[in-house]
Protein backbone atom coordinates (compact mmCIF):
# COMPACT_ATOMS: atom_id res chain seq x y z
CA UNK A 1 0.00 0.00 0.00
CA UNK A 2 1.58 3.32 -1.08
CA UNK A 3 0.96 6.80 0.23
CA UNK A 4 -0.43 7.99 -3.10
CA UNK A 5 -3.27 5.47 -2.82
CA UNK A 6 -3.97 6.59 0.75
CA UNK A 7 -4.11 10.25 -0.36
CA UNK A 8 -6.56 9.36 -3.13
CA UNK A 9 -8.75 7.46 -0.68
CA UNK A 10 -8.70 10.38 1.76
CA UNK A 11 -9.82 12.72 -1.02
CA UNK A 12 -12.75 10.42 -1.78
CA UNK A 13 -13.58 10.18 1.93
CA UNK A 14 -13.78 13.97 2.23
CA UNK A 15 -16.26 13.90 -0.66
CA UNK A 16 -18.75 11.66 1.14
CA UNK A 17 -22.18 13.28 0.99
CA UNK A 18 -25.20 11.14 1.90
CA UNK A 19 -23.26 8.63 4.02
CA UNK A 20 -20.89 11.05 5.73
CA UNK A 21 -22.36 10.15 9.11
CA UNK A 22 -21.06 6.58 8.77
CA UNK A 23 -17.52 7.79 9.48
CA UNK A 24 -18.49 10.22 12.25
CA UNK A 25 -17.95 7.74 15.11
CA UNK A 26 -14.84 8.09 17.31
CA UNK A 27 -13.36 4.87 15.86
CA UNK A 28 -13.96 5.95 12.26
CA UNK A 29 -12.53 9.41 12.91
CA UNK A 30 -9.42 7.84 14.43
CA UNK A 31 -9.14 5.50 11.44
CA UNK A 32 -9.25 8.44 9.01
CA UNK A 33 -6.80 10.41 11.20
CA UNK A 34 -4.42 7.46 11.09
CA UNK A 35 -4.61 7.41 7.29
CA UNK A 36 -3.88 11.16 7.20
CA UNK A 37 -0.80 10.63 9.37
CA UNK A 38 0.44 7.72 7.23
CA UNK A 39 0.07 9.86 4.09
CA UNK A 40 2.65 12.35 5.48
CA UNK A 41 6.32 12.10 4.60
CA UNK A 42 7.55 12.08 8.20
CA UNK A 43 4.65 11.72 10.66
CA UNK A 44 5.44 12.18 14.35
CA UNK A 45 5.89 8.63 15.72
CA UNK A 46 4.29 9.44 19.08
CA UNK A 47 1.16 10.85 17.43
CA UNK A 48 0.87 7.81 15.13
CA UNK A 49 1.20 5.48 18.13
CA UNK A 50 -1.33 7.46 20.15
CA UNK A 51 -3.87 7.53 17.31
CA UNK A 52 -3.45 3.83 16.62
CA UNK A 53 -3.81 3.02 20.32
CA UNK A 54 -6.97 5.07 20.56
CA UNK A 55 -8.40 3.30 17.50
CA UNK A 56 -7.59 -0.08 18.99
CA UNK A 57 -9.28 0.86 22.27
CA UNK A 58 -12.41 2.12 20.49
CA UNK A 59 -12.76 -1.09 18.48
CA UNK A 60 -11.94 -3.38 21.40
CA UNK A 61 -14.52 -1.75 23.68
CA UNK A 62 -17.21 -1.93 21.02
CA UNK A 63 -16.73 -5.68 20.38
CA UNK A 64 -18.42 -5.77 16.97
CA UNK A 65 -20.58 -8.81 16.35
CA UNK A 66 -21.09 -8.70 12.56
CA UNK A 67 -17.75 -9.77 11.07
CA UNK A 68 -14.54 -11.31 12.44
CA UNK A 69 -12.40 -8.22 11.70
CA UNK A 70 -13.08 -5.47 14.25
CA UNK A 71 -12.69 -2.49 11.88
CA UNK A 72 -14.79 -4.07 9.14
CA UNK A 73 -17.47 -5.06 11.65
CA UNK A 74 -17.54 -1.48 12.94
CA UNK A 75 -17.78 0.09 9.48
CA UNK A 76 -20.59 -2.20 8.33
CA UNK A 77 -22.44 -1.70 11.63
CA UNK A 78 -22.23 2.07 11.17
CA UNK A 79 -23.57 1.72 7.63
CA UNK A 80 -26.54 -0.36 8.78
CA UNK A 81 -27.33 1.86 11.77
CA UNK A 82 -26.74 5.38 10.45
CA UNK A 83 -29.71 7.72 10.16
CA UNK A 84 -29.23 9.76 7.01
CA UNK A 85 -31.25 11.06 4.08
CA UNK A 86 -30.97 7.72 2.26
CA UNK A 87 -31.87 5.43 5.16
CA UNK A 88 -34.72 7.60 6.45
CA UNK A 89 -36.18 8.10 2.97
CA UNK A 90 -35.85 4.38 2.29
CA UNK A 91 -37.90 3.70 5.45
CA UNK A 92 -40.77 5.59 3.84
CA UNK A 93 -40.12 3.96 0.45
CA UNK A 94 -39.79 7.39 -1.15
CA UNK A 95 -36.31 7.21 -2.68
CA UNK A 96 -35.49 9.60 -5.52
CA UNK A 97 -33.17 8.39 -8.36
CA UNK A 98 -30.57 11.12 -7.79
CA UNK A 99 -30.36 10.22 -4.10
CA UNK A 100 -29.79 6.55 -4.97
CA UNK A 101 -27.03 7.46 -7.43
CA UNK A 102 -25.15 9.59 -4.89
CA UNK A 103 -25.54 6.80 -2.35
CA UNK A 104 -23.98 4.36 -4.81
CA UNK A 105 -20.93 6.64 -5.13
CA UNK A 106 -20.65 6.95 -1.35
CA UNK A 107 -20.93 3.17 -0.97
CA UNK A 108 -18.00 2.72 -3.36
CA UNK A 109 -15.90 4.98 -1.13
CA UNK A 110 -16.88 3.13 2.03
CA UNK A 111 -16.02 -0.15 0.33
CA UNK A 112 -12.55 1.19 -0.42
CA UNK A 113 -12.11 1.89 3.31
CA UNK A 114 -13.44 -1.59 4.04
CA UNK A 115 -11.04 -3.27 1.57
CA UNK A 116 -7.83 -1.69 2.87
CA UNK A 117 -5.21 -4.37 3.45
CA UNK A 118 -4.93 -4.61 7.24
CA UNK A 119 -1.47 -6.18 7.18
CA UNK A 120 -0.11 -3.54 4.81
CA UNK A 121 -1.65 -0.78 6.92
CA UNK A 122 -0.14 -2.22 10.07
CA UNK A 123 3.23 -2.39 8.27
CA UNK A 124 3.05 1.36 7.59
CA UNK A 125 2.22 2.00 11.24
CA UNK A 126 5.17 -0.10 12.40
CA UNK A 127 7.44 1.75 10.00
CA UNK A 128 6.22 5.13 11.23
CA UNK A 129 6.84 4.28 14.88
CA UNK A 130 10.02 2.26 14.41
CA UNK A 131 12.07 4.62 16.55
CA UNK A 132 9.72 3.85 19.47
CA UNK A 133 10.77 0.20 19.45
CA UNK A 134 10.81 -1.16 22.97
CA UNK A 135 8.24 1.41 24.05
CA UNK A 136 5.42 0.69 21.54
CA UNK A 137 4.28 -2.83 20.80
CA UNK A 138 2.59 -3.46 17.44
CA UNK A 139 -0.92 -4.84 17.77
CA UNK A 140 -2.79 -7.21 15.58
CA UNK A 141 -6.52 -7.73 15.74
CA UNK A 142 -7.05 -10.76 18.03
CA UNK A 143 -10.48 -11.25 16.45
CA UNK A 144 -9.16 -11.50 12.89
CA UNK A 145 -9.37 -15.29 12.70
CA UNK A 146 -12.18 -15.83 15.19
CA UNK A 147 -15.86 -16.31 14.66
CA UNK A 148 -17.80 -13.23 15.74
CA UNK A 149 -20.16 -13.59 18.70
CA UNK A 150 -23.75 -14.33 17.87
CA UNK A 151 -25.82 -11.27 16.98
CA UNK A 152 -28.93 -10.48 15.00
CA UNK A 153 -28.93 -13.02 12.19
CA UNK A 154 -30.43 -10.70 9.58
CA UNK A 155 -27.77 -8.04 10.22
CA UNK A 156 -25.01 -10.64 10.15
CA UNK A 157 -26.27 -12.07 6.86
CA UNK A 158 -26.32 -8.58 5.33
CA UNK A 159 -22.81 -7.92 6.68
CA UNK A 160 -21.53 -11.14 5.10
CA UNK A 161 -23.10 -10.14 1.80
CA UNK A 162 -21.31 -6.77 1.92
CA UNK A 163 -18.03 -8.51 2.74
CA UNK A 164 -18.36 -10.86 -0.24
CA UNK A 165 -19.73 -8.59 -2.98
CA UNK A 166 -17.40 -6.82 -5.41
CA UNK A 167 -19.51 -3.69 -5.78
CA UNK A 168 -21.29 -2.17 -2.78
CA UNK A 169 -23.03 0.30 -5.04
CA UNK A 170 -25.00 -2.56 -6.51
CA UNK A 171 -26.48 -3.27 -3.08
CA UNK A 172 -28.17 0.13 -2.70
CA UNK A 173 -31.60 -1.42 -3.28
CA UNK A 174 -30.84 -4.24 -0.82
CA UNK A 175 -29.90 -1.68 1.83
CA UNK A 176 -33.02 0.34 1.04
CA UNK A 177 -35.18 -2.74 1.63
CA UNK A 178 -33.37 -3.38 4.92
CA UNK A 179 -34.17 0.13 6.12
CA UNK A 180 -37.78 -0.09 4.91
CA UNK A 181 -38.37 -3.32 6.82
CA UNK A 182 -36.14 -3.05 9.88
CA UNK A 183 -35.67 0.67 10.25
CA UNK A 184 -32.70 2.99 10.28
CA UNK A 185 -30.57 3.99 13.22
CA UNK A 186 -31.46 2.52 16.58
CA UNK A 187 -34.56 0.79 15.19
CA UNK A 188 -32.35 -1.23 12.86
CA UNK A 189 -30.08 -2.38 15.66
CA UNK A 190 -32.48 -3.05 18.55
CA UNK A 191 -35.85 -4.77 18.73
CA UNK A 192 -37.07 -3.65 22.16
CA UNK A 193 -37.23 -0.21 23.79
CA UNK A 194 -38.50 1.49 26.93
CA UNK A 195 -40.00 4.95 27.05
CA UNK A 196 -37.80 6.68 29.62
CA UNK A 197 -37.60 10.38 30.55
CA UNK A 198 -39.36 11.52 27.41
CA UNK A 199 -37.44 9.38 24.93
CA UNK A 200 -36.76 5.86 23.68
CA UNK A 201 -34.12 3.81 25.48
CA UNK A 202 -32.94 0.62 23.72
CA UNK A 203 -33.07 -2.69 25.60
CA UNK A 204 -29.87 -4.51 24.52
CA UNK A 205 -30.87 -7.86 26.05
CA UNK A 206 -34.64 -8.32 25.78
CA UNK A 207 -36.45 -11.27 27.31
CA UNK A 208 -35.67 -14.24 24.99
CA UNK A 209 -39.13 -15.83 25.31
CA UNK A 210 -40.21 -17.73 22.19
CA UNK A 211 -43.63 -19.00 21.19
CA UNK A 212 -42.25 -22.53 20.89
CA UNK A 213 -41.22 -22.39 24.55
CA UNK A 214 -44.65 -21.30 25.82
CA UNK A 215 -46.49 -24.52 26.49
CA UNK A 216 -50.25 -24.39 26.87
CA UNK A 217 -52.57 -21.54 25.81
CA UNK A 218 -51.84 -22.11 22.11
CA UNK A 219 -55.50 -21.54 21.26
CA UNK A 220 -55.61 -18.31 23.29
CA UNK A 221 -52.52 -16.97 21.47
CA UNK A 222 -53.68 -17.67 17.91
CA UNK A 223 -55.77 -14.48 17.47
CA UNK A 224 -52.87 -12.32 18.70
CA UNK A 225 -50.43 -13.98 16.29
CA UNK A 226 -52.86 -13.51 13.40
CA UNK A 227 -53.39 -9.87 14.39
CA UNK A 228 -49.63 -9.26 14.49
CA UNK A 229 -49.16 -10.77 11.05
CA UNK A 230 -51.84 -8.44 9.71
CA UNK A 231 -50.04 -5.47 11.25
CA UNK A 232 -46.80 -6.51 9.56
CA UNK A 233 -48.60 -6.96 6.24
CA UNK A 234 -50.12 -3.48 6.41
CA UNK A 235 -53.64 -4.88 6.79
CA UNK A 236 -56.25 -3.61 9.26
CA UNK A 237 -55.35 -4.83 12.75
CA UNK A 238 -56.51 -4.25 16.32
CA UNK A 239 -55.24 -2.98 19.61
CA UNK A 240 -55.24 -5.99 21.94
CA UNK A 241 -56.01 -6.57 25.61
CA UNK A 242 -54.83 -9.79 27.24
CA UNK A 243 -56.40 -10.39 30.63
CA UNK A 244 -56.37 -13.25 33.14
CA UNK A 245 -54.92 -14.26 36.48
CA UNK A 246 -51.23 -13.63 37.23
CA UNK A 247 -48.80 -16.24 35.90
CA UNK A 248 -50.91 -17.36 32.94
CA UNK A 249 -48.37 -16.17 30.35
CA UNK A 250 -49.88 -12.89 29.12
CA UNK A 251 -46.68 -10.83 29.23
CA UNK A 252 -44.54 -13.72 28.01
CA UNK A 253 -46.85 -14.07 25.01
CA UNK A 254 -46.32 -10.45 23.96
CA UNK A 255 -42.54 -10.76 24.36
CA UNK A 256 -42.49 -14.02 22.44
CA UNK A 257 -44.50 -12.45 19.60
CA UNK A 258 -41.84 -9.72 19.37
CA UNK A 259 -39.02 -12.27 19.14
CA UNK A 260 -40.93 -14.34 16.60
CA UNK A 261 -41.41 -11.43 14.19
CA UNK A 262 -38.47 -9.10 14.90
CA UNK A 263 -36.72 -10.24 11.72
CA UNK A 264 -39.76 -9.07 9.77
CA UNK A 265 -39.51 -5.56 11.22
CA UNK A 266 -41.56 -5.80 14.41
CA UNK A 267 -40.40 -3.62 17.31
CA UNK A 268 -41.69 -3.24 20.86
CA UNK A 269 -41.84 -0.12 23.04
CA UNK A 270 -42.68 -0.71 26.69
CA UNK A 271 -44.54 2.04 28.52
CA UNK A 272 -45.25 2.31 32.22
CA UNK A 273 -48.82 3.27 33.09
CA UNK A 274 -47.71 6.69 34.27
CA UNK A 275 -46.12 7.32 30.86
CA UNK A 276 -49.50 7.15 29.14
CA UNK A 277 -49.88 10.89 29.61
CA UNK A 278 -46.98 11.20 27.13
CA UNK A 279 -48.72 8.96 24.60
CA UNK A 280 -49.07 11.72 21.95
CA UNK A 281 -45.28 12.27 22.05
CA UNK A 282 -44.62 8.53 21.82
CA UNK A 283 -46.91 8.17 18.81
CA UNK A 284 -45.32 11.14 17.04
CA UNK A 285 -41.87 9.61 17.59
CA UNK A 286 -42.94 6.36 15.89
CA UNK A 287 -45.16 7.83 13.18
CA UNK A 288 -43.87 7.30 9.65
CA UNK A 289 -40.98 5.02 10.61
CA UNK A 290 -40.40 1.82 8.65
CA UNK A 291 -40.85 -0.86 11.34
CA UNK A 292 -44.17 -1.85 12.89
CA UNK A 293 -44.45 -1.15 16.61
CA UNK A 294 -46.18 -2.78 19.55
CA UNK A 295 -46.77 -0.39 22.43
CA UNK A 296 -46.61 -2.74 25.42
CA UNK A 297 -48.25 -1.78 28.71
CA UNK A 298 -47.96 -4.53 31.31
CA UNK A 299 -50.40 -4.99 34.18
CA UNK A 300 -52.69 -2.19 33.03
CA UNK A 301 -55.32 -1.00 35.51
CA UNK A 302 -56.48 2.30 36.93
CA UNK A 303 -57.74 3.49 40.27
CA UNK A 304 -60.83 5.65 40.22
CA UNK A 305 -58.83 8.88 40.72
CA UNK A 306 -56.32 8.20 37.90
CA UNK A 307 -56.98 9.96 34.60
CA UNK A 308 -54.27 8.48 32.33
CA UNK A 309 -56.97 6.31 30.81
CA UNK A 310 -58.20 9.36 28.89
CA UNK A 311 -55.00 9.42 26.79
CA UNK A 312 -55.44 5.70 26.19
CA UNK A 313 -59.03 6.26 25.13
CA UNK A 314 -57.87 8.79 22.50
CA UNK A 315 -55.57 6.19 20.96
CA UNK A 316 -58.17 3.42 21.00
CA UNK A 317 -61.03 5.51 19.65
CA UNK A 318 -59.13 8.08 17.64
CA UNK A 319 -59.01 11.84 18.01
CA UNK A 320 -58.86 14.77 15.64
CA UNK A 321 -55.44 13.47 14.55
CA UNK A 322 -55.21 10.17 12.71
CA UNK A 323 -53.30 7.55 14.79
CA UNK A 324 -50.15 6.04 13.22
CA UNK A 325 -50.94 3.04 11.03
CA UNK A 326 -47.69 1.33 12.10
CA UNK A 327 -48.44 1.29 15.86
CA UNK A 328 -50.72 -0.99 17.89
CA UNK A 329 -51.19 -1.21 21.64
CA UNK A 330 -50.90 -4.61 23.36
CA UNK A 331 -51.80 -4.40 27.05
CA UNK A 332 -52.04 -7.04 29.75
CA UNK A 333 -54.23 -6.84 32.83
CA UNK A 334 -55.31 -8.99 35.76
CA UNK A 335 -58.68 -7.24 35.66
CA UNK A 336 -61.41 -7.71 33.13
CA UNK A 337 -62.53 -4.15 33.87
CA UNK A 338 -59.44 -1.97 33.69
CA UNK A 339 -60.72 0.69 36.07
CA UNK A 340 -61.50 -0.26 39.64
CA UNK A 341 -65.18 0.07 40.41
CA UNK A 342 -66.49 0.47 43.95
CA UNK A 343 -70.09 0.21 45.14
CA UNK A 344 -69.77 3.84 46.20
CA UNK A 345 -69.18 4.74 42.53
CA UNK A 346 -72.77 3.70 41.81
CA UNK A 347 -74.06 6.39 44.13
CA UNK A 348 -74.57 9.62 42.25
CA UNK A 349 -73.11 11.96 44.88
CA UNK A 350 -72.08 15.34 43.45
CA UNK A 351 -71.78 14.09 39.87
CA UNK A 352 -74.93 15.04 37.99
CA UNK A 353 -74.16 12.42 35.35
CA UNK A 354 -72.56 9.83 37.61
CA UNK A 355 -73.92 6.88 35.63
CA UNK A 356 -72.40 8.25 32.40
CA UNK A 357 -69.06 8.83 34.11
CA UNK A 358 -69.00 5.30 35.51
CA UNK A 359 -69.96 3.83 32.15
CA UNK A 360 -67.16 5.76 30.42
CA UNK A 361 -64.64 4.24 32.81
CA UNK A 362 -65.95 0.70 32.65
CA UNK A 363 -66.18 0.65 28.85
CA UNK A 364 -62.44 1.20 28.37
CA UNK A 365 -61.72 -2.53 27.92
CA UNK A 366 -64.44 -2.77 25.27
CA UNK A 367 -62.56 -0.23 23.14
CA UNK A 368 -59.84 -2.79 22.42
CA UNK A 369 -60.64 -4.47 19.10
CA UNK A 370 -59.11 -7.74 20.30
CA UNK A 371 -59.69 -9.06 23.81
CA UNK A 372 -58.11 -12.37 24.85
CA UNK A 373 -58.74 -14.29 28.06
CA UNK A 374 -56.00 -16.39 29.68
CA UNK A 375 -57.84 -18.53 32.27
CA UNK A 376 -56.22 -20.22 35.23
CA UNK A 377 -55.28 -23.75 34.08
CA UNK A 378 -57.25 -26.71 35.28
CA UNK A 379 -55.33 -29.73 36.56
CA UNK A 380 -55.09 -31.31 33.11
CA UNK A 381 -53.61 -28.21 31.47
CA UNK A 382 -51.30 -27.62 34.45
CA UNK A 383 -49.87 -31.14 34.11
CA UNK A 384 -49.52 -30.72 30.34
CA UNK A 385 -47.47 -27.56 30.91
CA UNK A 386 -45.29 -29.35 33.48
CA UNK A 387 -44.76 -32.31 31.16
CA UNK A 388 -43.92 -30.07 28.19
CA UNK A 389 -41.42 -27.98 30.15
CA UNK A 390 -39.75 -31.10 31.57
CA UNK A 391 -39.47 -32.60 28.10
CA UNK A 392 -38.03 -29.36 26.70
CA UNK A 393 -35.31 -29.35 29.38
CA UNK A 394 -34.45 -33.02 28.96
CA UNK A 395 -35.74 -34.07 32.40
CA UNK A 396 -36.43 -37.82 32.29
CA UNK A 397 -38.44 -38.27 35.49
CA UNK A 398 -41.02 -41.10 35.04
CA UNK A 399 -44.48 -39.78 34.14
CA UNK A 400 -46.33 -40.89 37.28
CA UNK A 401 -43.57 -39.60 39.58
CA UNK A 402 -43.54 -36.27 37.72
CA UNK A 403 -47.32 -36.03 38.05
CA UNK A 404 -47.30 -36.71 41.81
CA UNK A 405 -44.55 -34.21 42.50
CA UNK A 406 -46.22 -31.56 40.35
CA UNK A 407 -49.54 -31.96 42.16
CA UNK A 408 -47.79 -31.84 45.54
CA UNK A 409 -46.04 -28.62 44.49
CA UNK A 410 -49.40 -27.23 43.38
CA UNK A 411 -50.96 -27.93 46.79
CA UNK A 412 -48.12 -26.21 48.61
CA UNK A 413 -48.10 -23.14 46.35
CA UNK A 414 -51.24 -21.03 46.16
CA UNK A 415 -52.68 -20.48 42.72
CA UNK A 416 -52.20 -22.99 39.93
CA UNK A 417 -50.73 -21.29 36.83
CA UNK A 418 -48.17 -21.59 34.08
CA UNK A 419 -45.77 -19.71 36.34
CA UNK A 420 -46.29 -22.26 39.12
CA UNK A 421 -45.58 -25.05 36.64
CA UNK A 422 -42.36 -23.38 35.53
CA UNK A 423 -41.24 -22.83 39.12
CA UNK A 424 -41.84 -26.50 39.86
CA UNK A 425 -39.76 -27.58 36.85
CA UNK A 426 -37.01 -25.13 37.89
CA UNK A 427 -36.93 -26.73 41.34
CA UNK A 428 -36.96 -30.25 39.91
CA UNK A 429 -34.12 -29.47 37.51
CA UNK A 430 -32.03 -28.01 40.33
CA UNK A 431 -32.63 -31.05 42.55
CA UNK A 432 -31.65 -33.47 39.82
CA UNK A 433 -28.49 -31.48 39.10
CA UNK A 434 -27.49 -31.54 42.79
CA UNK A 435 -27.76 -35.35 42.88
CA UNK A 436 -25.34 -35.86 39.99
Query: Whole-prediction pTM value?
Result: 0.79
Q: What pLDDT does 359 receive?
A: 57
Mean pLDDT on 159-186: 93
Give the tens place of pLDDT for each residue, 359-370: 555 567 778 889
Mean pLDDT on 267-295: 91
Q: What pLDDT does 136 receive?
A: 46
As a whole number of angstroms, the distance between CA 331 and CA 150 comes to: 31
Mean pLDDT is highest, among 33-47, 223-237, 391-405, for 223-237
Mean pLDDT on 64-83: 89
Mean pLDDT on 387-410: 85
Give the tens place of pLDDT for each residue, 284-307: 999 988 899 999 999 887 666 555
Give the tens place of pLDDT for each residue, 320-365: 567 789 999 999 988 655 555 554 454 555 554 445 554 555 567 7
Q: Does residue 24 carry a pLDDT above 90? A: yes
Q: Does residue 133 carry a pLDDT above 60? A: no
pLDDT-derived band of residue 376, with 50, 70 and 90 as boundaries?
confident
Q: What pLDDT does 147 receive?
A: 42
User: How confident is the prediction for the chain on average, in pLDDT?
Assistant: 83
Mean pLDDT on 86-103: 94
Q: Does residue 130 carry a pLDDT above 80? A: no
3-state secondary structure of 357: helix
Q: What pLDDT does 124 receive?
A: 79
Angle at 299 between CA 298 and CA 301, to 5 degrees: 125
Residues with Cβ within 8 Å of residue 200, at least 6 apart in sequence: 186, 193, 194, 269, 285
Question: Within a 10 A sphere around the Cβ of 207, how many other Cβ atoms?
Answer: 15
Mean pLDDT is highest, among 97-106, 212-221, 377-386, for 97-106
Mean pLDDT on 188-200: 92
DSSP letters along 15-80, please? T--TTGGGG-SHHHHHHHHHHHHHTSSS--HHHHHHHHHHHHHHHHHH---SSSSHHHHHHHHHHH
Query: What does the buried/exposed string (b/e) look like for 66-104 if buried means 16 or more CB atoms within 10 Å of the residue's CB?
Result: bbebbbbbbbbbbbbbbbbbbbbbbbeeebeeebbebbb
Please state whether beta strands 240-244 and 370-374 pair in parallel, antiparallel, or not at all (unpaired). Answer: parallel
Amino acid sequence: MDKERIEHLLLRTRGLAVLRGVISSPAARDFVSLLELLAMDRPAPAIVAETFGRLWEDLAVEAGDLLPDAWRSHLVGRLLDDENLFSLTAERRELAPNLVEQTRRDLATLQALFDLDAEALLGLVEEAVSELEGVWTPWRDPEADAEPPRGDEHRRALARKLAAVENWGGLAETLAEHYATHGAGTFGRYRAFRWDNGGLRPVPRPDPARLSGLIGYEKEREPLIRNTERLLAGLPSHHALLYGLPGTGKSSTVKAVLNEYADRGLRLVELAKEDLRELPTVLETLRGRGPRFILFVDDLSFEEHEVEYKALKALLEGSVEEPPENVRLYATSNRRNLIRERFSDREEGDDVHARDTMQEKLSLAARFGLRLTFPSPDQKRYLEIVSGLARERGIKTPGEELREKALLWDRWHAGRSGRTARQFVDELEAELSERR
